[in-house]
Structure 1
Amino acid sequence: MIGEKNFYHGLLFSVEAIIFGLIAALLLIYYRGIGRQYVTYWMVSLFSLSAHQICLAIESQLTDLSVVALEKVILTGLTQLSLYFHLSALLLGIYSAVSKNIISKKITNSTFIFSTLLALTATLLYGFEVNEVYNRFYLRESLPAFVMGCGLLLTAFYLYNLPKKYFSVHIFIIYSLFMGLRYILFSFLSIVLINEYWFRPLAEVLIYFDMGAFTLLAFTMLIWMQGAERSIATSAMNKAQYLGKHDSLTGALNRQQVMEKLPLIIEQTASNQQNLAVFLLDIKGFKFVNDTYGLKVGDAILGEIARRLDESIFLPQVVGRLSGDSFVFIIDGVDEKQQAAAIEHLHGLISRPYHIKQHKVLLQCSVGYCLYPEDGRLAEDLLQKANLALAQAESQNVATVKYKTGMQSHGRRLLAMEKEIRDGFENNEFVLYFQPQLNLLNNRIEGFEALVRWQHPARGLLQPASFLPDIESLNLLSDLDSYVLDLACQTVARLQKEYHRRVTIAINITAVEFQDPQLIENIQALLFKYQITPRCLDLEITENVVMTEIATAMDTIVILQNMGIKVSIDDFGTGYSSLAYLRKLPIDKIKIDRSFIEEVASNDSDLTIVKSMVELSHGLGKRVLAEGVETEEQLRVLRNIGCDAVQGYYISKPIPEAALKKYFTR
C-alpha cells in the first residue's frame, strides 16, 4: 500500500516537473525574442520549481535509504536549494515586472548566494545525526515553509498597495495570500502538532493543493506577459501617433504641425481682434555643447529647452522645434510692454543653467520676431519675416531683433555665402569622411557611409549643420550631390587600386538630385570615368523623396538596380510613409533613424517599434540597418531582434579616407 502511494506521488511530481519545465522553455523562447528582465527571473523560477518536483519524485522512490545516507542528504540539499531558488527568482521577477527597474547583477547574485547558504545550512545541520529526527524535520520542512510563507505574504502586501492593478496582479495577490497562509500554517502545525494522527493526511492533501496552486502560478505568469505586451503595443501605437505630430526628441510640435496649427491660431486671433507675436529662437554655440559634452547631453538640453518654453507663464499658443536648435514660440494679445517682458522672459528661460549628467551648461539665444497683423497675415509670411529678423540678430550678434520692412541682411549674407561655397567646390575644400557599417551576421565591415565636411580655409573643418541650410537656401543641393558622388567614386577607385578590395560606399542623395533626369547618365559617366563596378555604390534616399513622386522614383530605382547599384531608404520612421507602402519599391535596405535607437535598450515602446520595423522589413525581403548605435546594450538588443547591420559611434566615428587603411591592412 505504501509502495503504491509512493509510486503515485512520484508520478504526480514527475508530471508537474514536465509541465513547469515546458512553460519555463516557453519563457526562454519569449526572452530571446524580447529580452525583458522579469521574464528571465520567472524562467529561472519555473525551472527551479521543475527541479524541485523532480527531486521530490526521486525522493518518494528512495524509501529504503536511511535519512542520514549520503545520497539522501545530497538529494535533500538539492530539494531545498531548488525551492529557495524558486522563491527568490519569483520575487525578483515580480519586483522587476511591477517597478520596471533593472535589477543589478550584484543584488541578483547576493540573493541566490543567500538562498544557497540557507539551503546548505538546513541540509547539513543535523544531517548525519541519526537521533536528531525532530531538529532535522524542523530545518528541512518547518523552516522552508516559514520562509516561503513570509516571502509570499510580503509579496501580497506589496502588490495590494500598488496604485494601479491589472487582472494578473489580482491573481498574484490571491495566489501569494493563500499560499503564504498555507506555508505559515503548515510551519506552525509541523512544530506543535507533528505527532497528531491527522498531520500526515494533511500533508498528503497539501501535495494536491500545491499542484493546482503551482499550475495557477505558471499560467498567471503567461497572462501577465500577454497583458504587458498588449500594454506596450498600445503605448507604441500612441507614441507613433504622437511622433507624427511632435518632434521625437523634445516633444514640441514639429515644423509640419506648426505650419498646420498657425493658420488656425491666426483665424482665432483675428476673430478676437487681438495681435500675435511670433518669436524664433536659435541657441548660440550649441555645436560646441555637442562637441564638448556629447550628443546625449545636447539632446537632453534641447528637451529641457522645449519643456521650459512649454511651461512659460505667458501660456504660449505654439511651442515648436523647427530644426536643430531652432524653436518657435507664439503668444497672443501682447502690447509693446508685454513684448518687452516676453523677450526678457525668453532670454531668462534659455540662460538659466542646465544641470545634465553632473554637467552645468550655460547657454544664450538669439531671438527674431514679428507681429500679426502688423507684419503679415499669412503663416508663411510671419515665419519668414521672423526668420529674417533672427538672421540679422545672429549676423550682428544682437540678442533680439524685431522685423522691419526692407530687412535684407539675410539675402546679403546668402550672396556672400554663395561665393564661398562655389569657391569651395572649385578648390576641393569639401571632403568626405566615412562611417563604417557593421554586418551583424558575420561581424565584418560591409561598407561605409560617405559624410561631407567643409575644410574651410578660415573657419576650419565645418560640420554639415554649418553649411547645408545655406546650400539648400541657395538651391545648390544638386551641385553638392554631384560633387559628393564624384568624390565617392574617386575614393572607391583609389581603394580598389591600392588594396585590391571592392568597397561599398553609401551616398546620401537629396530630392533635387534624385528627381534630376540626368542622374542616371551622370552616374554612368562616373562609373566609366573611374572604371569601378556599380556594386560599390549604395544610394540613400529619404522616404519622403520616394513618396512625393512614387512613379518617377520607381522607374529610377529600377534602372539603378538593373545597373547593379543598390538603393536604400534613409532615416526611416521620420517621414510619412509605411513599410506596407514601401513593399512596392524594389529597394535593398531600410535604415532606421537614430531617434528610434537612442532608447531601444531602455524604452519598451521604442523596442517594440524597432522590432516591428525589422520583422516587417524582413517580411518584405528588405535588409535593415540601424543608425546611431552608441552603446553596447543597443548593439546587443539590435542583434537579438535580428537587425542585419548597424552604424554609429559605438562602432566608429566618421573618419577621413587616410584612416580607412586600418580596415584593409589587418
Structure 2
Amino acid sequence: MVANVFALSFLFLVEAIVFGVLAYLLHSFYQSALKRYAKFWCYSLVALSVHFAVSALQHALLQYSETSLLQVTLTCIAQISQYLFVLLFCFGCHISRENIQYNNANVYGLLSIAVLLGAFCSLLFAFNENGAFSRFYLRESLADLIFAGVFLITLLLLLKHEKRHFVAKLFMIFSAILTVRYFFSSFISIVFVNNNGFGAMFNTLVYFDFGAFAILGYLMLLWMHSAERNTAERAINRATYLGKHDQLTGALNREQVIEKLPLAIEQAVSNRLKLQICLIDLKRFKFVNDSFGLKTGDMILGEIANRLSDSIFLPKVVGRLSGDSFIFALEISEDSQQEKAAKHLHDLISRPCYLNHQEIHLQASVGYCLAPVDSSDAEELLQQANLALFQAESHNVASVKYKDGMQSHGRRLVEAEKTIRQALAQQEFILYFQPQLNLLTNRIDGVEALVRWQHPEKGLLAPGEFLSDIAALGLSGELDNYVLELACQTNARWYQTYRRRVAIAVNLSATEFQDPKLIAKIQTLLLSYDIPPKYLELEITEDVVITDIRSAMDTIFVLQNMGIKVSIDDFGTGYSSLAYLRDLPIDKIKIDRSFITEFAANDSDLTIVKSMIRLSHGLGKRVLAEGVESIEQLNLLRKLGCDAVQGYFINPPLPEEKFVSYLTRK
C-alpha cells in the first residue's frame, strides 16, 4: 500500500514537472508569435502543473485526515486548478479560430465561475466524516462529467474551424478521445464505486491521463509550430504578390507591366492583331486628396483599378505605374477602334464614385500608342504613350495618339523646365502694369498685373513665348504664387513710397484657383504685407469655373467675404457663358478683346457687346472691356454704359518705373 502511494505521489510530481516545462516552452512560443490562444494554453498548462503538484503533496501527506484543514485546503487548490485548466484550454481552442474576438470582462467572469465551482466541490461536505461518497461524487464524478462536456464543446469548435490543418485534426481526434474517457469515468464512478475492481480502474485512468495530457501539451507545441510555419508561408506569398502587384489597388506594378507587355505583344501579333497601350492620368487628383482625405483618395484609386480590370474590352494588361497613373493595354483589329477604346476609358473614369455618402466626379487624360507599329519594346512603348499623354495634358485635350517627332518636343520641354525653374529662383519674371480707366470718373481705379520674362540672353519675353511651356510642364501654380507675392510686394512698396493704394488684378490659372490652400496663401500674403483685401483682385477664366463650378463658387464666396474682388477674364470665349453667369458670385466681367476689335464697324459684335453689358448690369455686375485701341471704341463703350476699359489706347502695359507716374499725380 505504501509503495503504491509513493508511486502515485512520484507520478504526480513528474507530471507537474513535465507540464511546467511544456508551459515554459509554450510561453516561449507565445513571446515570439504573440498568438492570443497560446497565452491561454500556457496558463492552462500552468494550472494543470499546479493540480498535479498539489495531488503529489496530498498523497505524500496521507497521514493527515481527509477532513483536516490542510487536506481540505490542498483539495480546494487541486479542484480549482483543474477547472481552470480545462476552461483555459477550451477558451484557447475557441479563439484559435480566425477573427475571434473576446472581452476581458467575459474571460474574468468565466475564470471566476471556475474558481467558485472548484471551491464549491471541494468545500461542500469537506468536514463531514460520513460524507466520503458525497465528496467523491462532487470531486470526481461531477468533475469528469463537466470535463467530458468541455472537451465535447472543444471538438465542436474545432469542427467549425474554417482551415483545419493536420494538427487541428489531431486535436479533434484527441478531444473526441478525452470526451469518451471522461464520460466513461463519470459513468463507472457512479455505477461501480463499490466494486472491488474500481480501484484498479481508477489507477489505470491515472496512468492514461499522464500520457494523454503529455500528448496534449506536445500537440499545443505542434499547433504553435504549424501556425508559425503558416504565418511564414503567408508572409512569403504576400511578399511575392506585392512584388508583382500594387499594394493599394491590386493592379500590376511597373516591373510586372514591363514583364507582361512583351508577352501581350507577342500574343497579339500571333493573332494578327495590334496591342493598344494607353496611359491614363487622373486630373485634379491632388484636389481630391486635399478635399476628401488620403483614405478616400486611396479608395478611389482602388475603384478605378477595378473598373479598368472589369472592362468589357477584356484588357491584356492593367497596371498602376505611379500615383494616379494607370496603364491599360488591349488588343484591336482595326485602327478605327483606337478612338473607341480611348472614349471607353473616359466613360469608365467619368462615372461618379460614391464614397462616404459623397459623389465624386473624375476626369482623365489619355495618351496611347500601338505595338508593334510604333515599337515592340515595352520601355519604349511606355515612353511613347507617356509623350502622347504629356501632349494631351499640355493642350488640355482628352486623348492623344503618339506620333513621330514628339520625342524632340519632350526633350525641349525638359530643357525649358530647367530654365524656367532657374528663372523663378533668380526672380527673372517681372510685372508690367496696364491701367484700367473708370469711364464714370475718368480716373485710373486699378491695374492688371501682366508677367514678363527678363531673360538674361533673349531680353524681355512676352507671355506668349513662355506661358505655353509653363502650362505644359505643370508649373502654372508655381508661377501664380510667384506673381501673387510679387504683386503684394509691389502694392506695399507703392503705399510706403507714395502713400497711394491701387487695386492690382492678378490672373490665376485653373490649377492655382482649385488649390484648397489658395485661401490660406492669400490671407498670409495680405497679413504679411499689410494690404487691405479690396486692393487685390483675382481674375479667372471661364474654363476654371466649368471644371468644377461648385468648388469654384465656394472659393469665390470665401474670397468675397474676405473683401477680395473676383472677375471673369476673357468673357465670351468659353462654354455656356450665359448659362452659369447668373449663379456665379463674381464682381466684374471682362469682355474679351476679340469682341471689341471690330465691334465699332461690325453690327454682330456690337449687338453681342451691348447684350453682354445689359445682361451683366441686370445681374448687378460691373463690366470692363479689354483691347480698346481707338477713340471710336472708347466713345461707343461710354454710350453703351460700360463701366471701365483697358487697352493700348489708354496705356499699353507699363514697367513699374513708368507706371508710378500715375501715383505721383494729385
Give TM-score scaled by structure 2 length. Answer: 0.57
Query: Against the structure 1 CA distance between its residues 303 and 81, is the aligned structure 2 distance closer, same or farther, given a 3 Å change threshold?
Result: farther
**Does the CA-based 8 Å contact 1:280-1:369 persist in structure 2?**
yes
Q: Which residue is equivalent to 1:227?
A: 226
* Distance apart, 1:268 and its partner CA: 2.4
Paired residues of 1:282 and 1:366 also in contact (CA < 8 A): yes
- Count of aligned pairs: 432
Find the residue that maps to 2:96 and give its secondary structure: helix
The answer to whether the 8 Å contact 2:36/2:95 transfers is yes
Q: CA deviation at 1:246?
A: 2.9
Letter in 1 for 2:368: C
User: C-alpha separation between the residues in 2 aligned to 1:344 and 1:95?
Assistant: 54
CA distance in 2, matches of 1:359, 1:147: 52
Q: Structure 1 455/355 Cα, relative in aligned 2: closer, same or farther at 3 Å?
A: closer
Q: Tell me the equivalent position of 2:323.
A: 324
2:94–2:157 CA contact under 8 A, matched in 1? no
Please give the residue correspondences for 1:398-437 in structure 2 after superposition, counting only pairs within 5 Å.
Answer: 398-403=397-402, 417-423=417-423, 425-426=425-426
Q: For residue 275 of structure 1, what is the aligned residue in structure 2?
A: 274
- CA, structure 1 residues 115+277, in 2 after alignment: closer, same or farther (shift >3 Å)? farther
Alignment of 1:228-627 (within 5 A): 228-288=227-287, 290-291=289-290, 295=294, 298-333=297-332, 335=334, 339=338, 342-343=341-342, 345-347=344-346, 349-350=348-349, 362=360, 364-373=362-371, 376-378=374-376, 379-395=378-394, 398-403=397-402, 417-423=417-423, 425-426=425-426, 458=480
* Contact 2:144–2:186 under 8 Å retained in 1: yes
Q: Counterpart of 1:609?
A: none
Q: Does residue 139 in structure 1 map to residue 100 in structure 2? A: no
Greater CA deviation, 119-128 or 377-386?
A: 119-128
Native 8 Å contact 2:332 2:338 kept in 1: no
Q: Which residue of 2 aligns with 1:529?
A: none
Per-residue deviation, 1:377: 2.4
Distance 1:134 1:8 in 2: 25
Deviations 1:362-403 (A, max 9, x none): 352414132425961233343233223333444555554444
Matching residue's letter, 1:267: E
1:118 aligned partner? 117
Q: After superposition, what is the alpha-carbon deviation per residue over 1:114-143, rounded to whole angstroms, capped at 9, x for unaligned?
A: 433433443444555555544443332223
Amino acid at match of 1:422: Q
Distance 1:353 1:38 in 2: 45
Structure 2 vs 1, CA of residues 10 and 370 (structure 1 numbering), >3 Å: closer, same or farther? same
Q: Distance in 1 between matches of 2:354 and 2:203?
A: 63
**Whole-angstrom CA distance in 2 between matches of 1:15 and 1:61:** 14
Displacement of 1:43 after TM fit?
1.4
In structure 2, do the counterparts of structure 1 residues 186 and 313 end up closer, same or farther at CA, with 3 Å as the change threshold? farther
- Residues 403, 205 of structure 1: CA spacing in aligned structure 2 closer, same or farther, 3 A cutoff? same
- Give 5+ residue unaligned stretches, structure 1: 428-453, 461-666
- Equivalent residue letter for 1:377: S
Maintained 8 Å contact 2:367/2:392: no
Letter of the 1:40 partner, please give it. Answer: K
Counterpart for residue 587 of structure 2: none
Task: Give the distance between the partners of 1:373 and 1:246, measured in 2 at CA.
Answer: 23
**Contact 1:42-1:93 at 8 Å conserved across structures:** yes
Aligned residues of 1:44 and 1:86 also touching (Cα < 8 A): yes
For residues 286 and 105 of structure 2, the distance between their equivalents in structure 1, rounded to whole angstroms, comes to 39
* Cα deviation, residue 83, structure 1: 1.8
| Contact 2:352 2:362 (C-alpha < 8 Å) held by counterparts | no
Cα 1:90–1:365 change in 2 (3 A) is farther
Q: Residue 25 of structure 2 corresponds to which residue in structure 1?
A: 26
Query: Closer, same or farther in 2 for the Cα pair 1:255/1:154, shift >3 Å?
Result: same
Residue 168 of structure 1 corresponds to 167
Contact persistence 1:275–1:371 (CA under 8 A)? no
Indicate if the aligned counterparts of 1:366 and 1:393 stay in contact, CA closer than 8 A: no
Q: CA deviation at 1:8?
A: 1.7
Q: Secondary structure at the match of 1:99?
A: coil
Question: What is the letter of the counterpart of residue 368 of structure 1?
Answer: V
Distance 1:363 1:184, change over 3 A: farther
- Could you give the per-residue CA deviations for residues 430-471 of structure 1, whole angstroms, max 9, x where no partner exists? xxxxxxxxxxxxxxxxxxxxxxxx9957459xxxxxxxxxxx
1:243 CA displacement: 3.3
1:187 Cα deviation from its structure 2 partner: 2.0
Other-structure match for 1:540: none
| CA–CA separation in structure 2 for the residues paired with 1:386 and 1:322 | 12
In structure 1, the residue matched to 2:449 is: none
C-alpha distance in structure 1 between counterparts of 2:168 and 2:149, whole Å = 19
Partner of 1:80: 79
2:278 is matched by which residue type in structure 1? F
Matching residue of 1:198: 197
Contact kept, 8 Å, 1:350 with 1:364, in 2: the verdict is yes
Report the Cα offset of residue 216 of structure 1. 0.6
Question: 1:558-585 CA distances to partner (integer Å, 9 max, x unpaired)?
Answer: xxxxxxxxxxxxxxxxxxxxxxxxxxxx
For the residues of structure 1 that align with 2:288 and 2:149, how far apart are their CA atoms? 53
Cα distance change, pair 168–400 in 1 and its aligned pair in 2 (3 A): same
Q: Deviations over 1:82-120 (max 9, x none)?
A: 222222322233333342645454554444334334334
Letter in 1 for 2:30: Y
Q: Is the contact made by 2:349 and 2:364 (CA closer than 8 Å) also made in structure 1?
A: no
CA distance 1:337–1:125, shift in 2 (3 Å): farther
Work out whether residues 265 and 372 of structure 2, in 8 Å CA contact, stay in contact via their aligned partners in 1: no
Letter in 2 for 1:22: V
Which deviates more from structure 2 when the two are superposed, residues 157-166 or residues 309-318? 157-166
Q: Give structure 2 stretches of 5+ with no counterpart.
A: 428-475, 483-666
Shift of 1:52: 1.6
Residue 115 to residue 419, structure 1, CA distance change in 2 (3 Å): farther
Between structure 1 and structure 2, the one with the greater Rg is: 2
Q: Which residue pairs with 1:566 in the alignment?
A: none
- CA gap 1:327/1:165 in 2 versus in 1, 3 angstroms: same
Q: Note closer, same or farther for the CA distance 1:262–1:455 as it changes in structure 2 (3 Å cut).
A: closer
How far apart in 2 are the matches of 1:104 and 1:457?
Answer: 58
C-alpha displacement of 1:148: 1.6
Counterpart CA distance in 2 for 1:424 and 1:47 is 73
* Comparing 265-274 and 411-420, the one that deviates more: 411-420
Distance 1:194 1:259, change over 3 A: same
Q: Secondary structure at the match of 1:322?
A: strand
TM-score by length of 1: 0.57
Do 1:252 and 1:306's aligned partners in 2 also have CA atoms closer than 8 Å? yes
Residues 88/361 of structure 1: CA separation in 2 closer, same or farther (3 Å cut): farther
Q: CA deviation at 1:174?
A: 1.7
